[in-house]
Amino acid sequence: MLAIGARAPEFTLPDADGQATSLSNLLRDGPLILYFYPADFTPGCTREACQIRDLHTELDAAGLTVAGVSPQTPESHRAFREKYKLPFTLLADVDRFVIKMYDVRGPFGFGVRRATFLIDQARLIQDAVLADLRIGEHEAFVRTAIALSTRSH
């Protein structure tokens, strides 16, 4: 997993609508919460996505953008987004290129670790959490990022 203080690598991936989306584009309006998750529609990933969805108004007020990355296709992401009314970007890393760049591959290179990064507009990683099964840690991380960003706004 990339370290706090490291520069977040630039990337471009298709979103749920098949549109090319870059890290720079995601950062244009403010800091970014970039989270990696194993798969659309799995119980843990659905719970995590819905927790972030339920914090969307607060995220917006704090000036934070959110994007989720997993190896499913744009079509899968679109169905996931529509079913759970997710108001944030989902990116399709089918080749797991960005997953490798951010060093969040699962054990022996299989799967994806559940990781969340807070990235500032200079592309520096301000904070990060890695918790494969403890989804509540990711929600707490997002809440802390909201509190910090609200204070600096």
- What is the per-residue pLDDT across 65-91, written as a single tens digit (0 to 9) for each? 999 999 999 999 999 999 999 999 999
Catalytic, out of 45, 52, 59, 146: 45
Above 60 in pLDDT, residue 139?
A: yes
pLDDT confidence tier of residue 153, bands split at 50, 70 and 90: low
Share of the chain above pLDDT 70, in %: 96
Q: What is the pTM for the complete model shown?
A: 0.92
Above 80 in pLDDT, residue 97?
A: yes
Contact (CB, 8 A) for 30 and 16: no
CATH of 12-152, one of 3.30.2290.10, 3.40.30.10, 3.90.1150.10, 3.40.109.10: 3.40.30.10
Above 90 in pLDDT, residue 141?
A: no
List the single range of 5-19, 106-120, 127-141 with lowest mean pLDDT: 127-141
CA-based nearest residue to 131, from 48, 71, 41: 48
- What is the DSSP pairing of strand 89-92 with strand 65-70? parallel
pLDDT confidence tier of residue 133, bands split at 50, 70 and 90: low
Give me the mean pLDDT over the 119-129 stretch: 95
Question: For 82, phi and psi rounded to 5 degrees?
Answer: -70, -40
Tell me how many helices (H) and strands (E) the chain has. 6, 7
Above 70 in pLDDT, residue 132?
A: no
**Distance from C-alpha of 37 to C-alpha of 132, rounded to nearest angstrom:** 9
**What is the per-residue pLDDT for 152?**
60
**What is the per-residue pLDDT for 151?**
63
DSSP alpha helices (H): ranges in the chain? 23-26, 43-54, 56-61, 74-84, 97-101, 135-152
> Is 50 known to be catalytic?
no
**What is the per-residue pLDDT for 138?**
78
First to last CA, the chain: 28
